[in-house]
Amino acid sequence: MENLHKFEHQAAGHEGTLTDEDEYLFFKPVLKQEIDFYSNLNNQLAGSVDDNELSLKDWIPKYIGLLTENDTTGLKKENINYVVLENLLRGFRKPNIMDIKLGKILYDEQTVTLGKKERLIKVSNDTTSGSLGFRICGMRVYNYSTELDHSYMELDEDTNYITINKFYGRSRTIDNIDEAIDLFFSMSNLDEKIKHKLAANFLSRLQLLYNTLLDSEVRMYSSSLLFIYETDQSRWEFLDYQDDIIPDDIEDEILDEDETTYCKTLSRLNLIDFAHSRFTPGEGPDENVLVGIENLIRIFEKEKNCNK
């Protein structure tokens, strides 16, 4: 544990996440349901799917294992469990990150407490979670230019990154959600051509993910989509503007003349946060998350067409 430090690049969510010295890994404190989800993902999907088709696992950060921190204070007897995941930001130099929570229903009927259920129904009704089946939870973006209300953001002057908080996403409506998605892609000084390509590539990913989820029997409440893209133009140049829709495991890294390893990923889309997720064999696809992805696809189609 002493080699780990605070993970500084969250777009949303709770504190307490950690990373290692090289920042290859992401440690998240979790409860039993999330541990179960990751171990079931490894067990039940192994070898069961067609090699040519994407499976749920291809969209989820690689699960390395579980780490338990023993409580050494002697005060409480509770240990903290961390899932150890691949750090999705590995290889990026100046990533922009957006966390979008999926679903109109934000709680699992089987496990939720009454007070929490009422609160989450209200959050859904008052936000685009209810109207569109998704909601922007937060962003961590390069501070390029912004006229955003100051109550929605915080600037880190050392890194020149701004964190856009959950109240921004909660205050969006069906009438201005497109602009919020635009904002995510406008916060960089990348060439317009790259910005268009990014919107097109994320659209392709959303469509592929939709198809994967049609074949997946899971229920994911309050899970998120994590959008990540590189804003450092020199990395785009170095990699010849080649942004793969789905990063290939084996070809993920290349070496230059100095034998330095470079990741090839310039942008990616992943599913994260399975604190309230479970496998539901025989129960068909998760309509609750599919609705949100359908609406995102519509918005990204518009985005792509405007940018032609």
Nearer to ligand ADP, 135 or 304 (CB): 135
Nearer to ligand ADP, 86 or 294 (CB): 86
| Contact yes or no for 127/135 (Cβ under 8 A) | yes
Binding mask 32-71 toward ligand ADP (x if CB under 6 A, else -) reads: -----------------------------x----------
206 CB neighbour count, 10 Å cutoff: 20
- Name the one residue in this structure whose structure tokens are 């950690």: 18
* Nearest-angstrom CA–CA distance, 65 and 86: 10
Site for ligand ADP in 194-233 (CB under 6 A): 224, 226
Choosing from 18, 41, 84, 88, the residue that interacts with ligand ADP (CB under 6 A) is 88
Nearer to ligand ADP, 199 or 228 (CB): 228
Q: Quick check: helix, strand or coil at residue 1?
A: coil
Q: Whose CA is closest to 166, among 137, 130, 203? A: 137
Q: Which span (164-172, 204-212, 268-276, 297-305) binds ligand ADP, by CB under 6 A?
A: 268-276
The dihedral sign for the CA sequence 10, 277, 112, 227 = positive
Two structure tokens written together for 259: 């034998």
Say whether residue 13 binds Mn ion (CB under 5 A): yes
> H helices of the chain, where?
32-44, 114-126, 128-132, 166-171, 177-186, 192-214, 233-238, 287-306
Residues 6+ apart with CB under 8 A from 97: 9, 11, 89, 139, 140, 141, 226, 227, 228
Say whether residue 134 binds ligand ADP (CB under 6 A): no
CB of 100 to ligand ADP, least distance (A): 9
Two structure tokens written together for 137: 């939870």
65 CB neighbour count, 10 Å cutoff: 11
| Contact yes or no for 91/247 (Cβ under 8 A) | no
Choosing from 275, 289, 296, 299, the residue that interacts with ligand ADP (CB under 6 A) is 275
Q: Which span (86-94, 177-185, 227-235, 265-273) binds Mn ion, by CB under 5 A?
A: 265-273
Nearer to ligand ADP, 97 or 206 (CB): 97
How far is CA 129 from each of CA 121, 182, 291, 300, 305, rounded to the nearest angstrom? 10, 18, 10, 17, 25
CB of 136 to Mn ion, least distance (A): 12
Say whether residue 230 binds Mn ion (CB under 5 A): no
Two structure tokens written together for 201: 């590539």
Q: Which residue is nearest to ligand ADP (CB)?
A: 13
Site for ligand ADP in 145-184 (CB under 6 A): none
Say whether residue 273 binds Mn ion (CB under 5 A): yes
Q: Which residue is nearest to Mn ion (CB)?
A: 273
- Point out which residues bind Mn ion (CB under 5 A): 13, 224, 273
- Point out which residues bind ligand ADP (CB under 6 A): 10-14, 17, 26, 28, 61, 85-89, 97, 99, 224, 226, 272-273, 275
